[in-house]
Amino acid sequence: MLSRLSPTTRQTLLIAALTLVAYGLLLPFTGFYWDDWPFAWIARFLGPAEFVPAFMPFRPFLAPIFYFTTSLVPLHPLAWQIFALVVRFLIGVVAWQAFAQIFPQRKTLAYFAALLMLVFPGYSQHWVALTHINQELIPFLFYLLSFGFTFKALRTKKTAHTIIALLLQLCGVFPTEYFFGVEGIRFLLLFIFFQGAFFERFCKAFKVWLPYLLVWVFNAAWLFYYYKFGAYNSYEVAATQTPNLPFFLIQALDALWKAGLYVWIQIFPLTFSALRAPASLLTLALILLSFIFLARFLFRFAPAQNADKSFAVSLIFVGVFGILLGRLPSLAANLPLTLQSSYDRFMISMMIGAVLFALGVLELIPNQRLRLLILSALIAVGAGQQFFNANIFRRDWQKQADIYWQMTWRMPALKPDTVLLTHEMPIDYETDLSFTAPINWIYAPNYERSNLPYIFLYTEKRLGGPTLPSLEESANVFYPYRTVNFESDLSNALTIYMSRNSCLRVMNPARGDADVYDNVSADFASAVALSRPSRILPTDEPAAPIFFPEPKKAWCYYFAKIELYNQWDEYATSARYADEALAADFRPQDQREWTALVEAYALNDETDKALSISNIALGADAKTLKALCKTWAQIKARRPLSGAEETFLFNCSP
């Protein structure tokens, strides 16, 4: 059936299929991450026009992009993941057409470049869709279009095409400094486009490139002014302040190694380190199936083409310098190039160079069949890497659901001006300030412009800084959350704790939690001492997480309810929840959580159950023993103990 379709239709369908395989298989199970939440909160509660003042201290020319897309795309995670998929498909198609203009005699190679760019495995941030589609991929789309129109203008001799290319360049380079170095690639491509002696080619390329160079200089002047004298308030240009040739050489080699070579094989150490895990097996199976399909497709439909070593060397040359030019902006800010982290977003500016380098190396292989096999493998690896990344974000979204539901079960309503404190949360793609947006969305669903009602801060990250100068009760907490401020003090603090093996727990200094959790960090005990559980309010309309359906009830649900009703001295209710948890055979991973049941049963006059649970917990670690003894001491302060209880309290301490 494929053979009946036109070559263009077949190639377009393959781009669409690769987009779905790489980015679409887990799409319904992914959501918002990192800065997605603050941006979504701004659009929902302050309106898309708020992005104009919100981006003034950072990247003011991004504001129109965010304004347009948030006005167009519904503020739902699924809608943004679908939009990201569409943008990815467009990048594949646009890259294909752009390279077809750049290499008009090598249409097949242009298509291969598009396929590699579509699944480029060095960039893992696709699923942080609201942030990175707007911040990087849409400007990148403009830049690819600009490249294509530059070379189209050379063929058509139409000034209009040059004007379009310049306008697209403006749309690509001004919104973000990510592509500041990419402009040099245009000159290098022009240089290899023209024929003749070196100086003749250089002059022809420079003449065509001159208007683009002027735009680039204008952008450089703008950035210099904005960084030095304007409203800019973000990363500093640190690398140029203390020039260090060995440092720059190491960084250059690091960029070439990672972008040019390692990204194409990194999936294997990632999967082989946990080979029996379902995600690893599925990823490797997807790579194998994709490789078989791609090899069959390319063997069948790719026209015969001889290798050209001189052209291959030119591609490698452009690729090497393209990678280095793409690294310049992040290197100027002294930011690391770390794969499989939020820092690999800098790979977006190295993508063109990396793809051209890979194609140049392939062009050195004289046997076309071997070239197609290796190309098929690279594309399959890229698709598998992106599926692997999608599964990481799927798990993160699932963990977010767990965290937000536990918050609302345990804290159904909060007093405004609450400062939520913790050491850090057991999750990878959200920071404390990322959490701040959904927490405000959940607990203040009718918010109208005013001071922000809630803020969430990591003591590990913020303590000693301007936002959290100390852990004194009188310490002021002030933070400008883009265009609205949070302002309160630590007399309004509420401290929580959650590890990868525990439920979310509200810290209570009266319960002795400062001693029980003193192993979290040196400062966490001070944060626990500030915690005021009284900031949790009863309500007829408890908060509920947005976008997340309520999960099945398990141990953490019952634990949250037991703790909540213990806090309100409604021990009959908390004991009932304890009965339900035990009847369902739910058990904690963090053995310190047994103490909530001990308190519920003991203060509901169910002594036998309290002692039974205590004996279960007694054999755990020293921290559990300390928590258990403190719980019984607090019970004794509330009511007289029976003989058996007194004996247990006497014997529980080592």
Does 273 share its domain with 293? yes
| Percentage of the chain modeled with pLDDT above 90 | 70
The 10s digit of each residue's pLDDT in 92-146 is 999 999 999 999 888 899 999 999 999 999 999 999 999 999 999 999 999 999 9
AA identity, residue 360: G
Question: Same structural domain for residues 507 and 639?
Answer: no
pLDDT of residue 234: 52
Which contiguous run of DSSP H or E holds residue 178? none
AA letter at 509: P
Main-chain dihedrals φ then ψ at residue 347, nearest 5 degrees: -65, -20
385 vs 263: CA distance, rounded Å: 9
Phi, psi angles (nearest 5°) of residue 457? -130, 135
Band of pLDDT at residue 242, cut at 50, 70 and 90: low
* Domain membership flag for residue 404: no
Whole-number percent of the chain with pLDDT over 70: 96
How far apart (Å, rounded) are the C-alpha atoms in residues 618 and 632? 12
Helices (H), 364-451: 368-410, 432-443
Same-domain pairing of 476 and 619: no
Residue 1 in this model has a pLDDT that exceeds 70: no
Q: Residue 422: inside a domain, yes or no?
A: yes
* H-only helix segments in 124-266: 129-132, 138-156, 159-173, 183-193, 198-228, 245-260
Structure confidence at residue 470 (pLDDT): 93
317: nearest Cα among 189, 467, 223: 189
Q: How confident is the model at residue 648 (pLDDT cuts 50, 70, 90)?
A: confident
- Considering the domain architecture, whether residues 353 and 488 belong to the same structural domain is answered as no
Q: State the Cα–Cα distance between residues 347 and 124, nearest whole angstrom.
A: 9
Q: CB of 384 within 8 A of CB of 294? A: no
pLDDT range class, residue 151, cuts 50, 70, 90: very high
Strand partners, 496: 506
Q: How confident is the model at residue 331 (pLDDT cuts 50, 70, 90)?
A: confident
Give the β-pairing of 476-481 and 454-458: unpaired
> Which of helix, strand or coil describes residue 237?
coil
> Can you give the CATH number for the domain in which 559 is found?
1.25.40
Which of 290-304, 528-542, 608-622 has maximum average pLDDT? Answer: 528-542
* In contact, 40 and 437? CB cutoff 8 Å: yes
Domain of residue 634, residue span: 553-654
Q: Please tell me the distance from the alpha carbon of residue 91 to that of residue 352, in angstroms, as a whole number.
A: 12
pLDDT for the residue 275: 87
Better-scored residue on pLDDT, 241 or 503: 503
Residue 80 counted as domain residue: yes
Residues 113 and 127 in one domain: yes
Reference 62, options 124, 129, 138; nearest CA is 138
The three-state DSSP-derived secondary structure of 261-319 is CHHHCCHHHHHHCCCCCHHHHHHHHHHHHHHHHHHHHHHHHCCCCCCCHHHHHHHHHHH
Same structural domain for residues 141 and 117? yes
State residue 241's pLDDT score: 53
388 shares a domain with 458: no
Element (H, E) at 581: helix 571-583
Most confident of 211-225, 376-390, 519-533: 376-390
Which DSSP category does 261 fall into?
T
Cα–Cα distance, 476 to 470 (Å, whole number) = 9
| One domain, residues 124 and 63 | yes
Q: Is residue 401 part of a domain?
A: no
Q: What are 425-482's pLDDT values in tens digits?
A: 999 888 999 999 999 999 999 999 999 999 999 999 999 999 999 999 999 999 999 8
Q: Using pLDDT thresholds of 50, 70 and 90, give the confidence band for residue 281.
A: very high
- Domain end among 367, 395, 423: 395
- Beta-bridged to residue 463, according to DSSP, are 468
Which residue in the block uniquely carries the two structure tokens 């987009």? 19
Whether residues 534 and 557 share a domain: the answer is no
Last residue of a domain, one of 345, 361, 395: 395
The pLDDT value given to residue 364: 92
Residue 19: what pLDDT? 97
In whole numbers, what is the pLDDT of the chain averaged over residues?
91
One domain for residues 565 and 613: yes
Residue 339, Cβ density class (10 Å: 0-12 exposed, 13-18 middle, ≥19 buried): middle
- pLDDT, tens digit, 9 for 90 and up, residues 349-365: 999 999 999 999 999 99
User: Does residue 179 form part of some domain?
Assistant: yes
Considering 510, 534, 551, which residue would you say is the last residue of a domain?
551
Whole-structure pTM value? 0.92
Place of tokens 């727990």: 505
Q: Across-strand partners of 476?
A: 489
Asked if pLDDT for residue 230 goes beyond 90, the answer is no
Q: 273 is written with which tokens?
A: 């380190």
Do 387 and 458 lie in one domain? The reply is no
Q: Give 229's pLDDT tier (boundaries 50, 70, 90).
A: low
Do 608 and 514 fall within a single domain?
Answer: no
* Cα 453 from chain centre: 25
Res 519: pLDDT? 83
Residue length of the chain: 654
Q: Which helix (H) or strand (E) holds 320?
A: helix 309-332
Q: For residue range 21-67, list pLDDT tens digits in order.
A: 999 999 999 999 999 999 999 999 999 999 999 998 878 899 999 99
Q: What's the total number of domains in the chain?
A: 3
